[in-house]
Amino acid sequence: MNTTTHAIHNFSAGPCILPESVLQQAADAVRDLDGSGLSLIEMSHRSKPFVAIMEEARQLVRTELNLPDRYEVLFLQGGASLGFLTTAMNFIPQEGIMDYAVTGTWAKNALKEAKRVGGAHALTSSEDTGFDRIPALPSHSEADFVHITTNNTIFGTQYQGDPEIDVPMVADMSSDIFSRPVDIEKYACIYAGAQKNMGPAGTVLYIYDRDHIGHTGRDIPSYLDLAVHAAKDSMFNTPPVFAVYTSMLTLRWLRDNGGVAAARERNAAKAACIYGEIDRNPLFNGFAETDSRSVMNATFTAEDEAHTAPFLAACEAAGINGIKGHRSVGGFRASMYNALPLASVEVLVEVMREFERTHG
């Protein structure tokens, strides 16, 4: 497998680490795309080369997630933050309801934006325990749709698979898209900012079931109407060409390295490595409840707060980047997206063990 050769072990929560081969190809394309004599970022988005790039990116999404024909694939802009409003406007009927599972900061923001549209309610929440867990969804909802945020980068929690509920789901999968296979038939829509597990910031992926679109009874502004973008093949306006191209390269890399099934196995091995050390080492405490732990973002704190700064210094000395936890949790956060090799996690574990030897 072609893994990264970064000198730095990059645990950043986002923008994400990318494969070295992808970085090299993307850098080359900025200078000259495939020997065309033109930079990727200066050629027309209507040119044959870029139209082919967009089509390949969309097709790779289809093949890697095994999408039925009725699902549309779009690469748009605005990130998941605009997606909060976009999905609400496209799926909540004027007289209907979308229930929201409030499991973290981004899920809370999604509900806030949806309330501007109307018909958005909290179905369940873990805010009372500091978002340290994923509360179980009921098997039944009276709503038209249920919205979930599949992985929470800040708190390090994640659904341990596709929930079982009797209404179609809308899911923000920004930080775990392509990390595992998905039962797509359970979802009316999936949206995901590229910068967590797919590419650089600048584009957001939408996958939606055409059977669930166009039934809200509301007048949707053109730019927020997913059907408008689908009719223009993701090019209703000028697309973010560099972000789409680099996402396409990452999807090629994913395909060539066994697809999402193989990614799930690699990610499980990395998670087992870090959580095993967190649970064994008396100097550290895991933040998330065990049955809600994220494979993408492991959050943990020092048993003694006085150890936080020296441990961060030890990580920096070992070439470990991006390990400082979000201010909402404190401590540490190890983000282990698809392109992060197991070897980097092993380096972090060795630093933890050495820190125990010197500070325990």
- pLDDT (tens, 9 = 90+) of the chain, 360 residues, equals 444 445 799 999 989 899 999 999 999 999 999 999 999 999 999 899 999 999 999 999 999 999 999 999 999 999 999 999 999 999 999 999 999 999 999 999 999 999 999 999 999 999 999 999 999 999 999 999 999 999 999 999 999 999 999 999 999 999 999 999 999 999 999 999 999 999 999 999 999 999 999 999 999 999 999 999 999 999 999 999 999 999 999 999 999 999 999 999 999 999 999 999 999 999 999 999 999 999 999 999 999 999 999 999 999 999 999 999 999 999 999 999 999 999 999 999 999 999 999 998
Confidence (pTM): 0.95
For residue 5, what pLDDT is reported? 45
Of 194, 186, 152, 153, the C-alpha closest to 170 is 186
Give me the catalytic one of 99, 144, 162, 196. Answer: 196
Q: Which amino acid is at 260?
A: V
For residue 1, what pLDDT is reported? 45
Q: HEC states along 79-100?
A: HHHHHHHHHHHHHCCCCCCEEE
What is the C-alpha to C-alpha distance for residues 212 and 73, in angstroms, rounded to an integer?
14
For residue 4, what pLDDT is reported? 41
Q: List, in order of start, the domains of the chain with CATH numbers.
A: 21-256 (3.40.640.10), 259-359 (3.90.1150.10)
For residue 7, what pLDDT is reported? 75
Of 148, 75, 85, the C-alpha closest to 118 is 85
Of 192, 206, 193, 243, the C-alpha closest to 50 is 243
For residue 2, what pLDDT is reported? 42
| Helical axes 105-114 vs 79-91, angle rounded to 10° | 40
For residue 340, what pLDDT is reported? 97
For residue 360, what pLDDT is reported? 86
Give me the catalytic one of 132, 162, 172, 225. Answer: 172
For residue 339, what pLDDT is reported? 97
Taking the chain, what is the end-to-end CA distance rounded to the nearest angstrom? 38
279 is known as an active-site residue: no
172 is known as an active-site residue: yes
196 is known as an active-site residue: yes
Give me the catalytic one of 99, 106, 209, 270. Answer: 106
